[in-house]
Amino acid sequence: MSGEYVEKLKRRARVFLREAISVGDPDLAAFFAEQAMQLYIKAVYYELFGDLIRGHKLRELISILARSLDKHGFNDIANKLREFVEEFKGALILGEEAYTAGRYGEISYNHEEAGEVIRAAEKFVEILDEVVKRVKLG
């Protein structure tokens, strides 16, 4: 895998985010925004560390990235990720639910809830882009 893999995941994430913003159905909007966050963090993790991370729980994926950043001495940006989780905890939980229960019709979202997940995704992509700019390994 190479930079092509990273760019492919980031491109897909941006498409999911764009679709989340434009789709009229809040269930799909929440799901698409969650997918954007999940793909983007996996792309960034691979870009920085050359490793694939598995899983789909956003807060768990963020924790993995933050711990890896701490391990390499990037405590300030790791703490920024933790602050993001605290600020957007509710939206992240909604997104995690949208990935599983929301797809199968058990849960429905309103436009306000979907908007929260979309705002979290937009902010998350900004933070992850900052991570890539600030973190240089090797």
Q: What is the CA radius of gyration of the chain?
A: 14
pLDDT digits (tens, 9 = 90+) for 19-60: 999 999 999 999 999 999 999 999 999 999 999 998 889 999
Residue range of the domain that includes 95 = 3-134
- CATH code, domain with 91: 1.20.120.330
pLDDT reported for residue 1: 53
pLDDT digits (tens, 9 = 90+) for 49-105: 999 998 889 999 999 999 999 999 999 999 999 999 999 999 999 999 998 876 777
Asked whether the beta carbons of 92 and 85 are under 8 A apart, the reply is yes
- Dump the DSSP string for 11-58: HHHHHHHHHHHH-S-HHHHHHHHHHHHHHHHHHHHHHHHS-------H
- For residues 115 and 132, give the distance between their C-alpha atoms in angstroms, rounded to a whole number: 26
| Average pLDDT of span 4-28 | 96
Asked whether the beta carbons of 115 and 88 are under 8 A apart, the reply is no
Distances, alpha carbon 59 to alpha carbons 8, 38, 62, 132, in Å: 23, 10, 5, 19
Number of domains within the chain: 1
The pTM score is 0.93
- For residues 46 and 25, give the distance between their C-alpha atoms in angstroms, rounded to a whole number: 32
